[in-house]
A and B are shown apart, each in its own frame.
Chain A
Amino acid sequence: MRETKYWTWHIVAGAVILFLLGLHMLVMHLYQLLGTWGLNPVGGAAVAWLNVLARSRMTAMVVIYILLLGAALYHGLYGLRTILFELGPGKALQMAVNVVFWIGGIGLFVLGTVAAIAAKML
């Protein structure tokens, strides 16, 4: 049942990423072509400090970034875990991968969330 749970959430996370990362790609890489409704207010490069600052202060963007971070970490680490497990490791290695990925994943999620919230205060 646990694997069913993990896999179902993997699919759900994938769907979430499809929308949110698609939006992120739009803002970062397609806005010269398609425009992005105020998410790159000073124009030019999407990574220009003022653009980044403006986005960091929007509550909606902060929420979106945190959601995207969580979904992408779960989806990506589950995928990597699947690839590693299919190489046929023993039970001990499997448990080690599980522990490292959970701890690493949660750690990176905390890092990113704290950064997103701190950036809002800038």
Chain B
Amino acid sequence: MNQQTQLWREITVYLRRYNPERDAKPHWQHYLLPVDYGMTVLDGLHRIRETLDPTIVFRFSCRMSVCGSCAMLINGKPALACNTQISAVATETLALAPLPNFEIIKDLVPDLSSMFRKHTSIQPYIRRADMEEVEKPTGEFLQSPEELTRYLQFAYCIKCGACMAGCPTLATDPEYLGPMPLTQAYRYCTDSRDAGFHDRKKVVGAGHGAYRCHYAGECSNVCPKGVDPARAIQLMKRDLVLDYLKLKRRHTPAVVAGPPTDAKRNPKAPEPPPYTV
């Protein structure tokens, strides 16, 4: 490190260890970690791995809270390790555990495949009658800023899994879709380019779908990107009920903007170079 780092204090880090080849079940292991000012939990984990115990295992990638790899239970609350300052959550002890409601692969690494399987089941892509246009676009879809705002917040999701870890329904019901898939389902249903509501509602309005949410609000509480899954799920329920009562407004999916018809080429502009691909 080039920077002069100043020691803040030494804290005890309790890490939930689990090695599938050696351990029957997870157990706590503690380390005495010198923490500098400004260290994040991820920095702390790297320091443990480099100086104290090279066998610890954890996921990380971007280290700037855009990839969603490093979500874990930090002092009892699901959070991203890379954007949690140690000094903000601990003064004496820091307890790190893998995200609950997922199986543990090893140490702090959860098995997120169940979450991604549920995500795939809600068809997280634009669905419309002319899928040909989506696959091979001829022009852009016209969408106003207001139409964008209706779903943009929910598009910020980085699929970290913190919301799934906080949800009380997922604590007991493994088949519940969960906040992330439901939010993404709403993100696509309310996207003005999409026409897939009637397909997705078969999954989202089914037994383990949106109705298993009872607004405990933990998903929105722990989301590191402010996606507010709780809001999305309630809006999804609203749409499902309005659709059942046949009160849902009909919406035509966004049209494709054709090429400009009345534009004239500037005669002074030089010709483009020939295609090389």
- Chain A in direct contact with chain B (Cβ < 8 angstroms): yes
Q: Would you call A3 and B174 a contact (CB within 8 A)?
A: no
Give bound CA distance, A6 to B241, whole Å: 10
Is the CB of A87 closer than 8 A to any CB of chain B?
yes
CB of B245 within 8 A of CB of A8, answer: yes
- Bound complex: CA A1 to CA B203 (Å): 10
Q: Is the CB of B205 within 8 A of A4?
A: yes
Q: Are B209 and A3 in contact (CB under 8 A)?
A: yes
Which residues of B have CB within 8 Å of A87? 172-173
For chain B, give the interface size range: 10 to 19
B207 beta carbon closer than 8 Å to chain A: yes
Q: Which residue of chain A lies nearest to B241 when distances are taken between CB atoms in the complex?
A: A8
Contact A86 B212 (CB under 8 A): yes
User: When the two chains form their complex, are residues B244 and A1 in contact, meaning their CB atoms are under 8 A apart?
Assistant: yes
Per-residue contact bits, chain A 3-15, to B (CB 8 Å; 1 contact, 0 not): 1111110010000
Instruction: Say yes or no for A44: interface residue by CB 8 A criterion.
Output: no
- Interchain CA distance A8-B174 in the complex, whole Å: 24
Main SS class of interface, A: helix
Which residue on A lies nearest to B211, using beta carbons? A7
| Min CB gap A34→B, angstroms | 32
The CA-CA distance from A6 to B240 in the complex, in Å, is: 12
Contact B212 A4 (CB under 8 A): no
Interface residues of A in 1-39 (CB under 8 A from B): 1, 3-8, 11
Q: Is the CB of B173 within 8 A of A85?
A: yes
A1 to B205, CA, bound (A): 6
| In contact, B176 and A86 (Cβ under 8 angstroms) | yes
Q: Across the interface, do B244 and A8 meet the contact criterion of CB distance under 8 Å?
A: yes
B 241-255 contacts with A by CB, 8 A: 241, 243-245
Q: How far is the CA of A88 from the CA of B169 in the complex (A)?
A: 10
Find residues 188-214 in chain B having any chain A CB closer than 8 Å to their own CB: 201, 205-207, 209, 211-212
- Residue numbers in A under 8 Å from B172 (CB-CB): 86-88
A85 to B212 Cα, complex, angstroms? 9
Chain A residues within an 8 Å CB radius of B140: none
Kindly list chain A residues whose C-beta atoms are within 8 Å of the C-beta of B241.
4, 7-8, 11
Specify which chain B residues have a CB less than 8 angstroms from the CB of A7 in the assembled complex. 211, 237, 241
In the complex, whether B50 has a CB less than 8 A from a CB of chain A is no
How many whole Å from A56's CB to the nearest CB in chain B? 36
A82 touches B244 (CB 8 A): no
A interface, CB within 8 angstroms of B = 1, 3-8, 11, 82, 85-88, 94
Listed from nearest, the 8 A-B pairs whose CB atoms lie closest are A4-B244, A86-B173, A4-B205, A7-B211, A88-B173, A4-B240, A87-B172, A8-B241
Interface residue ranges, B against A (CB under 8 Å) = 169, 172-176, 201, 205-207, 209, 211-212, 237, 240-241, 243-245
Known: A88-B173, A88-B175. 16 other contacts (CB 8 A): A1-B205, A3-B211, A4-B205, A4-B211, A4-B240, A4-B241, A4-B243, A5-B244, A6-B211, A82-B212, A85-B207, A86-B169, A86-B172, A86-B212, A87-B172, A94-B207
Task: Sample 5 A-B pairs with CB under 8 A, ordered by A number.
Answer: A4-B205, A7-B211, A85-B173, A88-B172, A88-B174
